[in-house]
């Protein structure tokens, strides 16, 4: 086919343009109406999305858009929270309606209450344990024949954080003295401590300017415990802490040391402090064992009125994990170890604890 071009005059072009203008207005007008319809559809879609429940095979991780995935995840969490609240309210109504005939509350399953029974669990009425306590290394302390005197030192060339940690430990433990190591071996330090009537030697080790280990040696006959130190927070790093502790002798709380090993570790901690606490100071040192981690906290309790009592943390705080327990004083080469942590054997079962 032959295509021929038809010339168009300028008047005709203007006419076409003029004819198009009202069409644009009409299209704009119709567009505004359609825009309103689109907005209404979007609102309906959003409402349906908010009210719609997720299918059982739905996975939020399948959504590739990060913002959309986060939005859907938050909606999913809100729905689960609402369902939990509804179930909780329903159970409460049933319990109120039944009154005294209501069934007992379900105890949640935790690692602590599902703990595997240990044969070495201490019975306080056992005669054998009472005999061991009367003849062990701490018997002189518990019989009131000796008063604790503690020497605190560090590894060679300690940094500022470790030094401050030792100084704050000395304010927590009464009758404690901080001495710098000066490159001396512990085999030379221990006889000097015994000659000066020290009952304990505490050595704080560090790695990369952070305290990471603690050797607790009972003098003169042992035993010696080696702990891993973690989560150290000094007083300046703590929020809402109280004023610095006073020189009053604190009370000591030993919590959850149930096995024979835990019992001996608890007696080691107890022998650090004098047996006659001064209640006027209202200070408490707590060693809380949970899942073989020993959490140390130092508090002052405040009487708000006759019924209410508040506590105020003074610091420092840290966490200990027992690595080994050695008979006698510190001897890394020829020492006889009573207990050593074997991670792959002992930590195989999460519900079995050593302390």
CA separation for the pair 201, 188 (Å, rounded): 12
Residue 42 predicted with pLDDT over 60? no
Residue 60, pLDDT score: 81
Query: Which residues face 254 on adjacent strands?
Result: 287
Q: Residue 297: pLDDT band by 50, 70, 90 thresholds?
A: very high
Asked whether 144 and 275 are in contact (CB, 8 A), the reply is: yes
Q: What is the pLDDT of residues 83-125, one digit of tens each?
A: 999 999 998 898 888 888 888 888 888 888 888 888 888 887 8
* Residues sharing a CB contact under 8 Å with residue 189, sequence separation 6 or more, in sequence order: 153, 181, 201
Q: Which helix (H) or strand (E) holds 344?
A: helix 343-346
Asked whether 227 and 216 are in contact (CB, 8 A), the reply is: yes
Q: Which two tokens stand for residue 173?
A: 């433990």
CA separation for the pair 187, 331 (Å, rounded): 8
Residue 259 predicted with pLDDT over 50? yes
The per-residue pLDDT of the chain, averaged, comes to 84
pTM score, whole prediction: 0.72
Q: What is the pLDDT of residues 148-168, one digit of tens each?
A: 999 999 998 898 899 999 999
Residue 249 DSSP one-character state: P
Residue 53, pLDDT score: 56
* Residues sharing a CB contact under 8 Å with residue 181, sequence separation 6 or more, in sequence order: 153, 154, 155, 156, 158, 189
Q: What is the pLDDT of residues 194-226, one digit of tens each?
A: 999 999 999 999 998 899 999 999 999 889 999
Residue 204, pLDDT score: 95
Residue 54, pLDDT score: 55
Residue 346 predicted with pLDDT over 90? no
* Residues sharing a CB contact under 8 Å with residue 76, sequence separation 6 or more, in sequence order: 54, 60
Distance, C-alpha 312 to centroid of its chain: 18
Instruction: Tell me the mean pLDDT in the region 291-297.
Output: 94
Residue 61, pLDDT score: 83
Q: What is the pLDDT of residues 264-278, one digit of tens each?
A: 999 999 999 999 999
Residue 6 predicted with pLDDT over 80? no
Residue 190, pLDDT score: 93
CA separation for the pair 187, 172 (Å, rounded): 27
Q: What is the pLDDT of residues 9-35, one digit of tens each?
A: 455 444 444 444 444 444 444 444 444
CA separation for the pair 233, 168 (Å, rounded): 11
């Amino acid at each position: 086919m032959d295509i021929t071009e038809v010339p168009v005059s300028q008047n005709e072009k203007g006419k076409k343009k003029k004819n198009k203008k009202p069409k644009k207005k009409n299209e704009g007008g119709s567009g505004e109406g359609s825009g309103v319809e689109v907005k209404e559809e979007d609102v309906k879609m959003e409402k349906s999305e908010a009210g719609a429940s997720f299918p059982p095979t739905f996975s939020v991780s399948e959504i590739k858009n990060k913002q959309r995935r986060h939005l859907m995840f938050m909606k999913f969490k809100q729905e689960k929270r609402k369902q939990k609240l509804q179930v909780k309210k329903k159970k409460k109504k049933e319990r109120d309606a039944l009154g005294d005939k209501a069934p007992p509350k379900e105890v949640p399953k935790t690692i602590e209450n599902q703990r595997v029974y240990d044969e070495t669990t201490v019975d306080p009425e056992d005669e054998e344990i009472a005999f061991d306590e009367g003849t062990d290394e701490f018997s002189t302390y518990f019989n009131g024949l000796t008063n604790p005197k503690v020497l605190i030192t560090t590894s060679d060339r300690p940094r500022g954080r470790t030094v401050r940690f030792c100084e704050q430990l000395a304010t927590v433990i009464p009758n404690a003295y901080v001495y710098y190591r000066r490159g001396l071996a512990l085999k030379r330090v221990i006889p000097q401590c015994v000659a000066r009537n020290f009952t304990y030697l505490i050595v704080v080790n560090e790695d990369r300017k952070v305290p990471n280990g603690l050797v607790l040696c009972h003098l003169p006959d042992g035993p010696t415990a080696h702990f891993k130190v973690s989560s150290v927070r000094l007083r300046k790093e703590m929020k809402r802490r109280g004023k610095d502790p006073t020189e009053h002798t604190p009370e000591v709380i030993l919590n959850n040391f149930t096995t024979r090993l835990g019992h001996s570790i608890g007696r080691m901690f107890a022998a650090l402090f004098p047996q006659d606490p001064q209640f006027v100071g209202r200070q408490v040192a707590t060693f809380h064992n949970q899942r073989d981690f020993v959490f140390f906290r130092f508090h002052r309790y405040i009487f708000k009125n006759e019924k209410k009592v508040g506590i105020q943390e003074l610091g420092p705080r840290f966490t200990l994990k027992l690595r080994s327990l050695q008979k006698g004083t510190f001897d890394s080469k020829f020492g006889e170890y009573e207990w050593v942590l074997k991670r792959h054997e002992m930590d195989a079962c999460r519900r079995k604890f050593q302390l």
